Amino acid sequence: MSDGHVIAVAAVFQAFLLAVNAVLIFWYLWETRKLRQAAEAQVTASQSQISAAYDQVEAMRHQTAVAQAQLEAQIRPALTVSGRAATLLIVNIGNGPALNLQLVKGRTQTILPGSSRVETNFGMRVKGCCVAPGESQAKDTNEAVGSIGQLRGEDLQLVYESLSGKKYVSIIEFDGPGNPCKTTLYVPPN
């Protein structure tokens, strides 16, 4: 074998190794690309699982709120007033007892926020009392109403709580002669 022949064989062998190297590098790059695509697919699947989990949490939160509202509806008091012999009576027409009753009177007053402190300025006889639902004996405020009364053209807010501690306000509007003409039940925001 001559040097030229050895050089030719070495060149062919070197070209063969170069071709094998090129094939191996191409195969490595192809597999790496497939790994990247699989990782992207896995990230996409994880994101959709997280989105589905978030949707489930939101649905559970909504169901919990509905369940709490249904529970509160079972024990919700609703107070209104009626008159008897020129005095004002507090009557509970709701499903649960009204606790910690406060009476606030004024002219076209705004609704008190749920977190505000309430000071009774009317009907001190029933301040802080409990009015049971469907109570046959309504709570007498011992306050005069009607044409000889104290509530001409004013509003009266009955502020009270349910057993769960949620605050409610019944707004009673009185006409010019002092007769109750409209009752609005309101749940103040906390």
* pLDDT by position in tens, the chain (length 190): 678 888 989 999 999 999 999 999 999 999 999 999 999 999 999 999 999 999 999 999 999 999 988 988 888 999 988 776 667 788 899 989 999 988 888 766 666 555 566 676 777 777 888 888 876 455 666 665 554 356 666 788 888 999 888 899 898 887 766 677 888 888 877 6
Phi, psi for 114 (deg, rounded to 5): -60, -30
pTM above 0.85, yes or no: no
CA gap 134, 95 in Å, rounded: 8
Domain ranges of the chain: 1-75, 76-186
Nearest to 104, CA basis, from 124, 129, 83, 76: 124
